[in-house]
A and B are shown apart, each in its own frame.
Chain A
Amino acid sequence: MAPLNIQQGTSRHSAYDLRDPNAEASERHTLAVTVDNEAGVLARVIGLFSGRGYNIDSLTVAEVDHAGHKSRITIVTTGTPAVIEQIKAQLGRIVPVYEVHDLTVEGPSVERELALFKVTGTGEKRVEALRLADIFRANVVDSTLESFVFEITGTPQKIDAFGELMRPLGLCEMARTGVAALARGN
């Protein structure tokens, strides 16, 4: 029996290059999806994730090309490599989707998120909150005698860290935009 000259599980030359199809560990991926800015397009994307049981960790969307009516959706999702491949393929077949980029595997990228934190308190806690905000380069965008609203931009991890520090100092409300991301370089 002459062995076949292909090894199972190799698809190096395929259009769909699964790195390790059998890996079970979940990975976090940031996907950038360019879509026609038409009615219902966000519902299609969200419906795909809920209908097929995929995770959405964060999702941001806004029109980025006014003349061309194109929006960019940035989705942060987690799943096994096989699930991530499926998500990309499923996104790719939505008719108003132009491009799907997996920023996590396509090379280095930058991710930023903006958040607003409302922190209430007086005395030493209030001073400490302001001091930490300075360290994190957060801006004060609203202030009363008993509260601040901080604006902070950074990676999700930085925002998480800032939120943890603010919690004992009187954090009472926060709003986050979700991740916006771009590939580095040209």
Chain B
Amino acid sequence: MTQPMTGAKMVVQALKDQGVDVIFGYPGGAVLPIYDELYQQTDIQHILVRHEQGAVHAAEGYARSTGKPGVVLVTSGPGATNAVTGITDALMDSIPLVVLSGQVPTFLIGNDAFQEADTVGITRPCTKHNWLVKDPDKLAETIHQGFHVATSGRPGPVLIDIPKDVQFAEGTYVGPVKAGHGHYHPKVKGDRETITRLVEAMETAERPIFYTGGGVINSGDAATQLLRELVEATGFPITSTLMGLGAYPASGKNWLGMLGMHGLYEANLAMHDCDLMICVGARFDDRITGRVADFSPNSIKAHIDIDASSINKTIHVDLPIIGDVAHVLEDLLRIWKSRGRKVNKEALKPWWAQIDEWKTVDCLRYTPSAQTIKPQYALQRLEALTRHRKDRFICTEVGQHQMWAAQFLGFEAPNHWMTSGGLGTMGYGMPASVGVQVAHPEALVINVAGEGSWLMNMQEMGTAVQYRLPVKQFILNNERLGMVRQWQSLLHGGRYSHSWSEALPDFVKLAEAFGAKGIQCSDPADLDDAIAEMLAYDGPVIFDCLVEKHENCFPMIPSGRAHNDMLLGDADTEGAIGTKGAVLV
């Protein structure tokens, strides 16, 4: 399709041709022509957020829960700079986003015009790629290429900056097919020889483990299915990063739980003691490895990743396989089957016995209370009362509650867990839950939050109410910045510098002010009824769960320590972090 139209019309046409049905945005002077075009059509729904950061996180929630790219529309200057945190978050967590930003007209660029910012300059290091489109004839092609870049290879955010005169100017529209994909074609097939060597290692390994991450989920449903088949067929244990939860079901018999800084004891010890580590779509992040020098010292390491720069970045691996998880696992399974489906059964038995012994440590235990709600208890009850809902989506903010949610909630399917892993963005969860609910109007969408994080983007309650999105904001309110406080207690002699709030809002009244429902609960005996009330209410709810104020999150690998050197409770914390560890984050 090639036809003349204005730049603004091209933007809307290109989005339609890319199959976009919803975008998240906020209008302003430099995008008015595009908003005028949106006004005159009904195919694309526009969700008006309350802050551009919220638009990006909502688009992330939409993208993660659907597997489709999220689309954002913001104006120039502050519109674009407000989006930067969300864009960086998407880059760190490999979330496909297409961000369209307005720009001052081309003849004013560089003049310090009103609401001018060097948007492509500012977003260059936080996008996978970005473009400033000065020629209306290049606009449609650029948008189509933007979708290609955002969604292929390792996904990520792209930004297309569109000056206002380009939106008004006439140009020639080209459709997605004619626009082509340029030369960007990441390799998806892994090297067969290396895959074969991995199969050989799997056949003889005595203490193997799968260590999986968000790459499995990004690769798509086929990758999840293949991973599950591979794990069941080999009988190997499997652990996952925060980002990869749900790729293998939490109820699966080989599941060890999450690994890493607040991961499960058995998962971390199995990583430390394994002799074959098969890393699938994860990136040896510092939250995972602990002290690099002591990371799984006696294992052969295989690493499947679509991004060559993830290979050997922090941990040297023996079998690097660059390719898409689904393609590589398919080849891996085929080769393993063709060689007779061999595993070292004799050795796997004692390995599992060892893992079962580690499990008896019961690392998630905590001291229950009849007087105050323990945050872990709140999540256990939330899990018990919502586990049966196959359409349950969980978002989180960032902090202790996020780690407890990862520990105590079970994920059976991919794309049902939305959390800010890499960047650790407080304020992610509330808008993300909006995006998830937009994508899944009938689903149960819960944002597990802390009151500190939640307040960072609470304005998006207005969006939830406006679009009748029944998101459940489950706030574990300890009136503290719990994770900051926990580190201050470990690292700074209990000097709790600015890690509590003296002027929190009344969340019930706040909910009512927004036109939502507010529920407060402080007694463990009332908790089940209160959660049931939240679930039964057909509309957005702010659930103010007043929890124990000084609970710390365990288990924990203190910074600068190895996997097999975990803290299991408050009693272990004395002098836990040395001076070397103290400089780490």
Contacts and interface: CB of A to CB of B under 8 A. Distances in A.
Interface string A40-62: 10011001000100000000000
Interface string A1-25: 1101111111101111010011000
A51 B269 CA distance: 34
Interface of B: 120-121, 124-125, 128-129, 132, 149, 153-154, 183-184, 191, 193-194, 197, 200-201, 204-206, 275-276, 300, 307-309, 311-313, 316-320, 322, 344, 347
A66 B279 CA distance: 44
A1 B124 contact: no
B582 to A, nearest CB: 21
Contact of A95 (B125, B184, B313, B318): B184
B409 to A, nearest CB: 34
A17 B313 CA distance: 13
B308 A16 contact: yes
B319 A6 contact: yes
A9 B318 contact: yes
Contact of A14 (B200, B320, B344): B320
Give 3 closest A-B pairs by Cβ, nearest first.
A89-B309, A95-B129, A89-B308
B312 A85 contact: yes
B274 to A, nearest CB: 11
Contact of A4 (B132, B205, B312): B205
B320 A16 contact: yes
A8 B319 contact: no
A18 B312 contact: yes
7 contacts: A1-B347, A5-B200, A5-B201, A11-B320, A13-B193, A15-B194, A16-B311
Contacts of B311: 16, 89
A149 B319 CA distance: 55
Contacts of B308: 15-16, 89, 92-93
Nearest to B322: A15
Contacts of A90: 309
Given A89-B308, A93-B308, A95-B129, A6 B318 contact: yes
B312 A86 contact: yes
B129 A92 contact: no
A13 B197 contact: yes
Nearest to A39: B132
Contacts of B322: 15-16
A5 B204 CA distance: 8
Contacts of A51: 125
A6 B184 contact: no
Contacts of B153: 93
Contacts of A15: 191, 194, 308, 320, 322
B316 A9 contact: yes
A82 interface: yes
Contacts of B317: 11
Contacts of B316: 9, 18, 21-22, 82
A4 B300 contact: yes
A97 to B, nearest CB: 9
A25 to B, nearest CB: 17
